[in-house]
Amino acid sequence: MAQQHLEPTHPTAAAGSVPADALAGYLRAQATEFLRALRLHRETGANGTEGSGDAARALRRAARRISGSLHTFQPLLDSDWAESMRPELAWLSGTLALEHAYASRLERLLQALHRLSGPAAFPAQSRGARVTDPPGPAAADRGHLTVGAAKAGALLDRQLTLARTRAHSTALQALGSSRFHAVADKVAVLASDVPLAAGADAADCRPLAAAAEDRLTDAVAALPLVTAGSPYNAEALVHGLSPDPAPHPQDAPWHQVRLLLRLHRYAREVVAGGEPPVDVRTLAAGEALDRHRDASEAAAAAAQAARTPRIAPATAYALGVLHADQRHEVEAARYAFQHCWRKEAVGTP
């Protein structure tokens, strides 16, 4: 099976060979970047400042690139080593990503509440803060839905800040664990010594990079792009009131394409020996799929918050509007994806 992948069967592989040494160089560079980010993270004290946020981001970035390259180019690497390394890197980048994800989800939802409340209805100073002084009956009657938006914002703030704080603690614990130290030790070794598979020295990286691109192309071809390309198809909200707590299996193929696009991007970096030429299509498509993922998760968070016991009807109403708004963002992101994907596909000779 590994041999099958090593054959230069793919048409794009004919343009020239990229030796396994390029992969080794890429992995060494990413491992070095990982160690640099880790050092920076320890120096900034993991205290939630901007510096520690940058360091955590760089750490995740390097971990994702090492993990992705192990996946795409596994036949060229020592298989026992690669198989033991990947889940550990996935655990690490997943754990580190959560805190940031909760923070940006809250930011997205509060911004949407502002937008939906019109210019002056939802005062900026209450954003991200508790509503400590609920208005009296008269104000509640007059500004019913504004109160709802403010209360919805306060509820989301409470829930997502709590989740973020927990994710922060979990990340700190993870970075102090023996499990993490074992990963860091392996990455330190990788920075100087990449365990290639026996006989891989003479192999070409291009067919495996091409295979990653094929997996992406196949997954995109399986997406409902015709529907997505028809504006206002109302597809994304079709389970907006479903009793299923995870009612959006329709999102999964899009999330999958997002991951395959990322693997394709890393494979291009390997083949290019660093920063590949800017591919506008990949860039725009990736942004659309990030937006798709963020809106999908924000919509789920709004629906989840609406299940909080004993909330006021006005709060629940605002969360319903917010949920639907984010599901339409999901639909808009799909439209944007198919638009840039097709436009570029037509433009490509």
Residues lying near its own copies in the complex (CB under 8 A) are found at: 113, 115-118, 121-122, 142-146, 148-149, 231-232, 234, 237-244, 247, 303, 306-307, 311-325, 328-329, 331-332, 335-336
Tokens linked to 56: 């955590």
Q: Are 302 and 323 in contact (CB under 8 A)?
A: yes
Which whole-number Å values give the CA distances from 257 to 201, 239, 278, 295, in the listed order?
A: 31, 22, 19, 16
- If the CB atoms of residues 98 and 223 are measured against its own copies, the closer one turns out to be 223
Nearer to its own copies, 93 or 326 (CB): 326
Minimum gap (Å) between residue 98 Cβ and its own copies: 26
Closer Cβ to its own copies, 73 or 335, answer by number: 335
Q: Provide, rounded to whole angstroms, the least separation between the CB of residue 324 and its own copies.
A: 3
| One-letter identity of residue 109 | L
- Quote the least distance from Cβ 302 to its own copies, whole Å: 9
Enter the tokens of residue 128: 């991200």
Of 90 and 316, CB closest to its own copies? 316
DSSP string across 154-210: HHHHHHHHHHHHHHHHHHHHHHHSHHHHHHHHHHHHHTT---BPTTGGG-BSHHHHH
Q: How far apart are CA 127 and CA 161, in angstroms?
A: 13
Smallest distance from the beta carbon of 334 to its own copies, in angstroms?
A: 10
Q: CB-wise, 68 or 153, nearer to its own copies?
A: 153
Q: Work out how close the CB of 310 gets to its own copies at its nearest, in angstroms, rounded to a whole number.
A: 8
